[in-house]
Amino acid sequence: MDVDYHFYNGEKVDFGGKVLTIECKAKFIGDGNLIFTKLGKGSRIAGVFMESTTTPWVIKPWTDDNQWLTDAAAVVATLKQSKTDGYQPTVSDYVKFPGIETLLPPNAKGQNITSTLEIRECIGVEVHRASGLMAGFLFRGCHFCKMVDANNPSGGKDGIITFENLSGDWGKGNYVIGGRTSYGSVSSAQFLRNNGGFERDGGVIGFTSYRAGESGVKTWQGTVGSTTSRNYNLQFRDSVVIYPVWDGFDLGADTDMNPELDRPGDYPITQYPLHQLPLNHLIDNLLVRGALGVGFGMDGKGMYVSNITVEDCAGSGAYLLTHESVFTNIAIIDTNTKDFQANQIYISGACRVNGLRLIGIRSTDGQGLTIDAPNSTVSGITGMVDPSRINVANLAEEGLGNIRANSFGYDSAAIKLRIHKLSKTLDSGALYSHSSRGAGFLCLSHLLMCEGVTVIHHLMRRGG
């Protein structure tokens, strides 16, 4: 295709099962959906560019130096017509920026401008190097389809890349691999009713989302229409979400916003209680920076999650409604910077955390608890963490082998002990080493609390 093609909403092209390679050298232009159906297995679409006919009104809740705008009037002041520099406001923005609904002019409300390429009911079709302005790429009722190396399309009103299998069989083998997207009113990459099976066939690998209007990467939650939209057994690996308006990675299955008595077309609540579904996703090596909402969120039971980094987020770094799951090497650094009613990391169920890096360069005054995991066992915390802001069921640190405490730039070194049940502010024991005129002093001290009286005992020995 080497000439721009103008399509109408709902226009359908039936390829009759032929296996084709479609090289796009020009644009598809139109508002709505251009539907490709019955492409043969092994077909490939390369270089497709989708562009809306209409230029929408968009908002941009970031300053020129990339700081968040959260005041409704300030966000509305960014309103302009553009296909490249912002996203169309939605009802989600009415929640995120209270008061914005009344300030937006009528022509900026209820817009639905997207130029969407819909791949419908196909097997084994790949889309490579897709781009566009107010663009969307919808795989509906597809299996073993891939979106490969997206070439930074700027999203429209809907999700930029969507795999939706709400009717027929659960989707399987559907991937977002590589590439990046920007803006868009909803999520950059999203899945509805996909199940990769034991082989974890499907998901997101090596992808970057920039300034999504909702979440960067999302698995849908709850019921849509008459059936479940939840997802199981997918991979989420080696991917980055930067400055989403809501969440970085939103990988839950159940929702608290619209509680359900049961799960139509899915496991019943009686078998798996709320937030305890066996999602079995493979989750590793994800980075979130600058989310206005939660950096990393998920639920489920019995999962293994590793190498998650969340940095410089306005809301909670991690909000984990998980049970009996294992988290390894988690870094939650400089989060809840807007001082919301939230904690920097929250874990609801009885989980195990092995390796937790906390605290960065920002002040943490008033930012809730650093870690709130009242039912979990945590080990390997690093960072200057105020112990009064840690709430865990068990903090386990085993010292194996030889241990040395080095003090740099000071004349003393100390190992201090504190039993929170006795006091959250006083140490119950300590081992000190002091230097004085070249001689070393070893000082052992312990604290006794009895009937409200605190007594400190010291034993000092001069070293030779």
pLDDT at 444: 54
Nearest C-alpha neighbor of 36 from the set 4, 18, 12: 12
pLDDT at 163: 99
- List phi, psi (to 5°) of 101: -60, -40
pLDDT at 368: 81
* Element of type H or E holding 298: strand 296-301
Neighbours of 160 (CB within 10 A): 32
Q: What angle do CA 299, 234, 241 make, to 5 degrees?
A: 70
Cβ within 8 Å of residue 39, ≥6 positions away: 15, 17, 18, 19, 20, 119, 122, 125
Catalytic residue among 31, 126, 158, 250: 250
Cα distance between residue 250 and residue 279, in whole Å: 13
Task: Name the region of 78 (left: φ>0; alpha: ψ -120 to 50; beta: rest).
Answer: alpha
Q: In order along the chain (464 residues), what is the average pLDDT of each group of 10 residues?
A: 93 97 97 98 98 98 93 98 97 96 96 98 98 98 98 94 97 98 98 98 98 98 95 99 98 88 93 97 98 97 97 94 97 90 93 90 73 94 84 83 75 79 78 66 53 50 50
Neighbours of 402 (CB within 10 A): 5
Nearest C-alpha neighbor of 235 from the set 327, 292, 302, 172: 172
pLDDT at 452: 46
Catalytic residue among 164, 247, 266, 372: 247
Does the active-site annotation cover 398?
no
442 in Cβ contact with 432 (< 8 Å): yes
pLDDT of 355-397, one tens digit each? 999 877 776 667 688 999 999 999 998 887 888 889 999 988 7
pLDDT at 464: 44
Does the active-site annotation cover 262?
no
pLDDT at 453: 47
Catalytic residue among 214, 254, 312, 334: 214
Furthest-apart CA pair in the chain: how many Å? 92
pLDDT at 451: 45
Does the active-site annotation cover 256?
no
Cα distance between residue 65 and residue 133, in whole Å: 24
